[in-house]
Each structure stands twice: as C-alpha cells, then as structure tokens.
Structure 1
C-alpha cells in the first residue's frame, strides 16, 4: 500500500455504556468538508447498531468488523479489513472504535506492525470515562478498564452533566496523578470531544499492565449497545 502514507489514526476507547458511539458521531460532525474519513467500528450482535447510527455519506466510509471483538479478531482479520478500508476510501483520517470490553493493546500492535508502519500515523488514543464508574468496584477492578486508561493519551470525562460534581472532581484528581501523565484530561457532556484532541502526538511510553486481560474473558461477553 505504498501510495498511502502517514494517515492520521486514532483509537476511541471506553468501557461499557460510556457513550463512545455518541462521541464518534460528535467527532464526525466536526469533520472538515474537504476531508475523507474512514471509520472502523465493532459489530454488535446480529445487527450493526452502530452502523445504523453512523451516517455513510460523501467523505465518510464506515466499516464494521464482523465476527466479534476487534481485539479478539486480531491478526489477519483486522489487517485485511483495514487494508480494504484504506484502499477503498484513501482517507485523510482513520478512526477505530473497539467494543467496551476491548483491550487496546492488540489493536495498537497491529497498527504499528510492519504492514502499516509507513501507512498509518498513530496519534492520540482517546478514552472516555464515566466518572460514575468510580462508584462501581467491579468496574474499577476490571483489568481492561484499567488498561484502557493506561494506554490513553487523552481522557475525556464524559457525562459530566449526569454525574455528581464531586465525582467529576475525584476522577480529575485521580487521573492527574497517573504516570506517565496524560496529555489532556478534559470534561465533556454527550461525548463532545474537541477535534484538536485527535491531532495530539501519541506517547510511545504508555504501557498496558494487563496485556492478557481480554483473552482471559469469556467470549460470550455482552457488548455495549
């Protein structure tokens, strides 16, 4: 794919029910008119719920990766789907949105692998966080949840209009103490993330604590609708 070069690429992560699809739609509404974007989303159940929610218009190519989690279907399936999407759309930007139980590490590995090293320019990974999750010990203890935060360059504390202000402040305080530090911790409502967050340069020092976390899960997991 030598004619495609350094396509700015972002991964949008976040745990179940955090509002990733809404955030993705908000970002798509900010797409410059003269740009073509490619979006790879996960399939949800038998019908692509997200596919229906996402517009497929001029300058926008939306593809779902059928057959379960992007992170479970890693390797050939993800690489082939990405290659086809890039060839079809020749995008100015690529956005990947895995399922809420998706571990980002494997996706990052594929995007930085030899097949795509000259094709894609992996920029900031954005993780949405619902501050109310801090009150759910089973979520806080979840290794995928923790690594979505560990591997993110930008954390968007979402649903600030629904959470208690004290919880939002607690989330901000906790995230402010993480090392390596996040490039941005922002507050947002209804997934409204400023477009410029996508162009922040990725921090190559971010590491997963639990790279095997996803594969340990029962693959019957419910995906976030």
Structure 2
C-alpha cells in the first residue's frame, strides 16, 4: 500500500492541433500557482501539487514548451520551494505516442523526471497529430513503469466548433473544416481513448440564428454551444466519465485545481449518475437520448477468462444487461459479427414464446478481437437482415456488451426473463476465445 501511494499520478492531455491543449495546461499551471487565468494573483489557493510536464510538438521548434515554461515562471513568490513546484521538459521533433512503443528519448525523459524531479503528477501533452493508444499501452503494460506511475486518465480537449456547436450560419469553409476534424482518424482515436472531455472555445461559437445582440446574444450562443456539446458527448460509446468546459474549470470562484477536480470525478463511484437512472431512463435510451449504463461504476474482472461483471437495470417495459470483460480477453471477430447479426435480426411471427416476450431493441459493444485491435458494431437498416459492420477503434480498456430488450407481452414471467438473459450471456461467452 505504501508503494502504491508513492506512485506518480499521470494525466495525458490530448487534442487536435489548435484545440487548446497548451492553453488548458497553461491555465492549470497558473491556477496551481494561485493565479486566475488572465488576471493577477488570486487570494484563493488550493493545495498545490508538484507537477512535471512532458510536452511534445511535431516540429523541431519548441513553441508549446516555451509557452508552458513561461507560465511556470509566473508562479509568484520566488522562494526555492515555489520555483521547484513546476518542471517542464520538451521532446521536440516527433510524437511521444509513437515514441511510447520504446523510443529511448521518451523513456529516458520519463525516467529522468520520475527519479530527479519526483513530481506528484506528470502531465503529458502529445502532439495534436498523435494517436494516444501507444501511451496508454506503455503506462498499463510496461512492468517497470507500472510500479512507479498511476495513470489517472486521458483528457481530450475538443474545440466545440468542431463538433457542431456553432449555428448553421457558419461559413462553408468553417463547416468543411469542422467536418474534416470530426471524420479524421486522429480525432476519433483521441476521443475514443479519453475518459474525460473538455470543451474549449465556447466563446467562439456563433450560437443560433436570430440572436438579440450584445451580451444577451453571447449568453444564448454559449448556452446553445453547451447544449450541443453535451448532446454530442452523450452520443459517444463507450460513455465518458467526465464532460467539462474549460471556462468552468478556471472560473474565478473555483478553488480546486482542474487536475484534482477531474481526478475526483473520473475516479468516483458515479453513484449520483447511477441514481439518476429512473424508471424512464431505458425508454429515453431507446428513443435515442443516451444515458450512462451502470457499467460505468464497475471495474473489469481481475483475471482474463473470468466470468464477466454484470450490471442490470429493469423497468416495467424494458430490461437491460451489461457484460464487462477483462481487457486481455480476446473475442473471435466472426463470432461477434454473427452474434449481432442474429440477435438484432427483425422479429418474425414464427418465433417461440420466449422471443415474443422479449425483443432486443438496442445493442452496443466494444470488443477486443486481436492483440492490438478493438472494434465496435455499427448497424445499417436492411429489409431482410441487419447489415453489421465492425469498425476499429482506439479504445482498449476492456471489452463490453450492453443490451436493451423490451417486454413485448403482458404475460411475460420472471422465469422467461431469466432464460432470455441466460441465452444472451451464453451466446456472448461463445464469442470469446478459449
């Protein structure tokens, strides 16, 4: 236990080029120093951590590193303890996510920081051209690093304009650029790998047409952008643990470090979210309003091959089950495809009583199908049978299946329900490699 408490917390801050990653970290440093984002010293100081930052740019000139070093130099106070509370190390000319596969400069930099600086927290800012899955693998698979670091989570800073948070009145070029970002593999990977989303640049979103001008129009634009961003975040799968906005994290009334605040929410049990799953939540899920499954509060089994951890939620009209597997469990791609094609097929009049009583209405999954490949099923409407496509994703924290079924007959029984879900679980387990 003592060794675990001494591990350095690691926060990875990802995001596309110009999304606001460096600004986010810079403002966090100023907050740690007891300063507000753009004003002088703030009298309200939270307990400061000793922070080390590894920043990477694709180019050879260390602009981001220089910006963060300047922020670190503005800590105020001037005594030795203050001056040593923030350390910035730059790795220019490449991508640390690629370097994570074993590049000596990156590993040497981490070793130096851990041994010489001994920070409470290590913040890593990869290039905006980075696929972060390599960093996740490094910190979770490297046996030496696992003893010394505690990967608290990955944070993705997202320009709100890129996910449709501006009104339809934006120009054609701006919309094409936003679409290009949304559809890029890098953006999808960064979002998929992150438990935490931070919306940035709300002040640059134009809002809905027909604004009233002045402060009132700006408030409407911000409200519109917030709503659209949360709707987009709620549509993602797997669900995100935390969705925040950069301007809120650095509000003058906030007293907690943004890194600490995100830690608390990302590692909480999410009882408050689970308690919000009232009797209508499954109906809303079926109608397209995404709600968090109770899997959010579970952890995977401790060993591969073990029985999956199960979550259940039932209402008068709907029933759901979630099956959470160890990240090292590997499933057969053909069997996973067969499962979704068969379970999601249209119902026929010749089905037996059990299938008439329970009709599968929605299924989600993210499944490991090889050493380095996870997939999610996407569905296309078809008259005869569903066309299921398994799309590769960067996510790699576990494998999970989440199913919703409707109770279509008034005379359904608990026994029939039990048999239905037992059959679903059996079919899922048959997809797993022995």
* TM-score (normalizing by structure 2): 0.44
Partner of 1:76: 103
| Structure 1 position 210, deviation (Å) | 4.1
After superposition, where does 1:40-189 map in structure 2 within 5 Å?
40-43=54-57, 45-54=59-68, 55=72, 57-74=83-100, 75-77=102-104, 78-112=106-140, 113-134=142-163, 135=175, 136-163=178-205, 164=207, 165=221, 166-189=224-247
Mapped contact 1:38–1:61 kept (Cα < 8 A): yes
CA distance in 2, matches of 1:4, 1:82: 19
SS of equivalent to 1:124: strand
Mapped contact 1:22–1:191 kept (Cα < 8 A): no
Mean Cα deviation higher: 143-152 or 182-191: 182-191
SS of equivalent to 1:91: coil
| Structure 1 position 144, deviation (Å) | 1.1
- Structure ID, larger Rg: 2
SS of equivalent to 1:189: helix
Mapped contact 1:161–1:189 kept (Cα < 8 A): no
Mapped contact 1:7–1:119 kept (Cα < 8 A): yes
CA distance in 2, matches of 1:3, 1:130: 35
Q: Which 5+ residue runs of structure 2 have no aligned equivalent?
A: 33-45, 74-82, 164-174, 208-220, 251-256, 269-298, 301-326, 328-365, 367-373, 376-391, 395-434
Q: Which 5+ residue runs of structure 1 have no aligned equivalent?
A: 212-225
CA distance in 2, matches of 1:188, 1:79: 30
| Structure 1 position 131, deviation (Å) | 1.6
Partner of 1:201: 267
Number of positions where the alignment pairs a residue of Structure 1 with one of Structure 2: 210
CA distance in 2, matches of 1:185, 1:4: 27
More helix by share: 2
Q: Is 1:5–2:19 an aligned residue pair? A: no
| Structure 1 position 102, deviation (Å) | 0.6
CA distance in 2, matches of 1:98, 1:119: 20
User: What stretches of structure 1 move > 6 A for 4+ residues in a row?
Assistant: 202-208
